[in-house]
């Protein structure tokens, strides 16, 4: 990971060009990567045409840089792709507060993916289960042949689990889980190919009929965890004391811990951070979304993915744990020029490092939302940025965007019609 500073004071107030200059200085990435990140270069239609079907063009989104992140003692400038205002600013600001407590501590384990194999028409579930487990080594050996390169890299199939379902809408079924270490790949292809390869052997061993062979997005053997501790004094602002902010955040989290209606929104805030880094690095954010929400339901009741409590010396302690199946090789990560540049910017090589950054950003984003909700409310910060988007939609350009947005915010009327009227007046003057 990069060892340059992620503290770029006043980055927010710089012009777009100056931000790029600062990025060059603070990250040391190449001109080519800067061009890809800035949108000057990046994905071409020719490349896009090779990625999916029926391509007719390219759809762009804003790419912002979250500053201040200190993760496991390393400074990281985090590229975030998102259309929603306040997210990048929120992450950067919370990372600044977390720095005061030593930064984020993050861990990610091995890249263990689960490939599921559904077996139907099994004459005797218990006997099939026992036969499959007895022949585990043979099955793992066969699955390993699906990807010799992965095995050479130290990965590949490592374990097997068998899950009998005695009653389903189509009768009994046996589900085999093949656990594969996919190293620095997200692993969908490795998991699916290995699962497909096992069809004849599993049919022979179980006496049944293999039906589906596909990875599970509930990657609960591939968890990432982040922790932060913020001194309570650092949390104080305006009329709010540090203890008030801390306790307000804990009360807000408690709401999400018991109520699925609130937990869905709480976790959505976490995913604002998680998804925007997934997208910037060309990762499959739908897969991570699916895994996150399934994991949030593991107790039987959908709940918060994070936890907030009083830490040592009255600090605010936050933790976040969720499955993070991400890759730094394969898929779009090594094809999309901006995704490649995003990894370069962070100095990330392994899937583990990437997961550790993403989980930290998710925790920062959760903190940003809870801090705002527990104090002045979310709308204040949101509205000024929303006003800018309304001004742009009304046709404002350059410095006019801010002028019109500020005017509408101070008047308390942020509408397309009002933006049009102000724009019309400015243009006439
Ligand atoms: C908005 O995108 C995200 C929040 O709703 C998250 C939350 O409520 O915790 C602000």
Give tens-digit pLDDT for 274-327: 999 999 999 999 999 999 999 999 999 999 999 999 999 999 999 999 999 999
φ/ψ (deg, to 5) at 181? -85, 110
- Give CATH 1.10.8 domain extents, the chain: 380-428
Give tens-digit pLDDT for 270-280: 999 999 999 99
**pLDDT at site 1:** 44
- pLDDT bracket for residue 385 (50, 70, 90): confident
Contact between 163 and 150 (Cβ < 8 Å): no
Question: Is the model's pLDDT at 229 over the cut of 90?
Answer: yes
**pLDDT at site 3:** 42
The region, left, alpha or beta by phi > 0 then psi within -120 to 50, assigned to residue 245 is alpha
Contact between 285 and 343 (Cβ < 8 Å): no
Contact between 118 and 202 (Cβ < 8 Å): no
Overall CATH class of domain 112-216: alpha beta
**pLDDT at site 130:** 98
Question: Is the model's pLDDT at 13 over the cut of 90?
Answer: no
- Give CATH 3.30.70.420 domain extents, the chain: 112-216
Give the residue whose CA is nearest to atom 2 of ligand 1: 269
Question: Is the model's pLDDT at 383 over the cut of 90?
Answer: no
Question: Is the model's pLDDT at 226 over the cut of 70?
Answer: yes
Cα separation, 293 vs 220, whole angstroms: 11
Give tens-digit pLDDT for 95-136: 999 999 999 999 999 999 999 999 999 999 999 999 999 999
**What is the rounded end-to-end Cα distance, in angstroms, of the chain?**
52
Q: Which residue has the tokens 């804990």?
A: 250
What mean pLDDT value characterizes the chain? 95
Overall CATH class of domain 11-109+222-377: alpha beta
Active site residues: 84, 268, 284, 382
- Give CATH 3.90.770.10 domain extents, the chain: 11-109+222-377
* Proportion of the chain above pLDDT 70, given as a percent: 99
- pLDDT bracket for residue 2 (50, 70, 90): very low
Question: Is the model's pLDDT at 75 over the cut of 60?
Answer: yes
**pLDDT at site 5:** 83
Which atom of ligand 1 is found nearest the CA of 366?
9
Ligand 1 mean position to 363 CA, how many Å?
13
For helices 125-134 and 199-206, angle between their N-to-C axes, nearest 10 degrees: 130
Beta bridge partners of 406: none
Give the residue whose CA is nearest to atom 1 of ligand 1: 269
- State which H helix or E strand residue 112 sits in: strand 112-120
Overall CATH class of domain 380-428: mainly alpha
* Structure-token pair, residue 251: 């009360």
- pLDDT bracket for residue 412 (50, 70, 90): confident
Give the residue whose CA is nearest to atom 10 of ligand 1: 369
- pLDDT bracket for residue 257 (50, 70, 90): very high
Strands (E), 269-399: 306-310, 316-323
The region, left, alpha or beta by phi > 0 then psi within -120 to 50, assigned to residue 396 is beta
Helix %, strand %, coil % of the chain (to 5): 50, 20, 30
Alpha helices in 259-350 (DSSP H): 260-280, 285-296, 337-346
Q: What is the pTM of this model?
A: 0.91
**pLDDT at site 240:** 96
Cα separation, 14 vs 409, whole angstroms: 22
**pLDDT at site 409:** 86
* Structure-token pair, residue 220: 């609960």
- State which H helix or E strand residue 190 sits in: helix 188-197
Cα–chain center distance at 311: 26
Ligand 1 mean position to 378 CA, how many Å?
8
Ligand 1 mean position to 87 CA, how many Å?
10
């Amino acid at each position: 990971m990069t060892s340059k500073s992620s503290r770029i004071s006043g980055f927010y107030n710089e012009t777009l060009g100056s931000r790029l200059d600062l990025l060059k200085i603070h990250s040391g990435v190449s001109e080519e990567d800067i061009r890809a990140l800035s949108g000057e270069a990046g994905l071409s239609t020719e490349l896009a045409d090779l990625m999916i079907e029926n391509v007719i063009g390219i759809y762009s989104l804003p790419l912002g840089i979250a500053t201040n992140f200190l993760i496991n003692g390393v400074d990281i400038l985090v590229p975030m792709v998102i259309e929603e205002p306040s997210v990048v600013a929120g992450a950067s600001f919370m990372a600044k507060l977390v720095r005061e407590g030593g930064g984020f501590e993050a861990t990610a384990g091995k890249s263990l993916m689960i490939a599921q194999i559904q077996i139907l028409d099994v004459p005797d579930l218990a006997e099939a289960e026992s036969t499959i487990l007895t022949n585990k080594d043979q099955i793992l050996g066969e699955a390993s042949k699906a990807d010799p390169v992965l095995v050479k890299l130290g990965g590949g199939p490592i374990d097997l689990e068998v899950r009998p379902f005695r009653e389903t809408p189509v009768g009994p079924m046996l589900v085999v889980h093949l656990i594969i270490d996919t190293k620095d790949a997200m692993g969908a292809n490795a998991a699916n190919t290995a699962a497909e390869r096992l069809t004849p052997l599993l049919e022979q061993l179980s006496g049944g009929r293999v039906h589906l062979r596909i990875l599970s997005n509930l990657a609960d053997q591939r968890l990432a965890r982040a922790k932060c501790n913020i001194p309570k004094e650092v949390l104080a602002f305006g009329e709010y004391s540090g203890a008030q902010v801390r306790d307000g955040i804990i009360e807000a989290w408690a709401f999400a811990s018991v109520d699925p209606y609130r937990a869905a929104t709480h976790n959505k805030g976490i995913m604002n951070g998680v998804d925007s880094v997934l997208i910037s690095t060309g990762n499959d954010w739908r897969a991570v979304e699916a895994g996150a929400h399934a994991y949030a339901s593991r107790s039987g009741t959908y709940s918060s993915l994070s936890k907030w409590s009083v830490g040592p010396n009255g600090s605010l302690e936050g933790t976040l744990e969720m499955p993070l199946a991400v890759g730094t090789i394969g898929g779009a990560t090594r094809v999309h020029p901006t995704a490649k540049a995003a990894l370069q910017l962070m100095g990330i090589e392994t899937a583990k490092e990437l997961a550790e950054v993403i989980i930290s950003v998710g925790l920062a984003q959760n903190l940003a939302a809870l801090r705002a909700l527990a104090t002045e409310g979310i709308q204040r910060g949101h509205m000024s940025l929303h006003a800018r988007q309304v001004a742009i939609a009304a046709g404002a350009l350059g410095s006019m965007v801010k002028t019109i947005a500020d005017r509408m915010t101070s008047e308390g009327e942020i509408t397309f019609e009002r933006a049009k009227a102000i724009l019309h007046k400015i243009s006439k003057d």
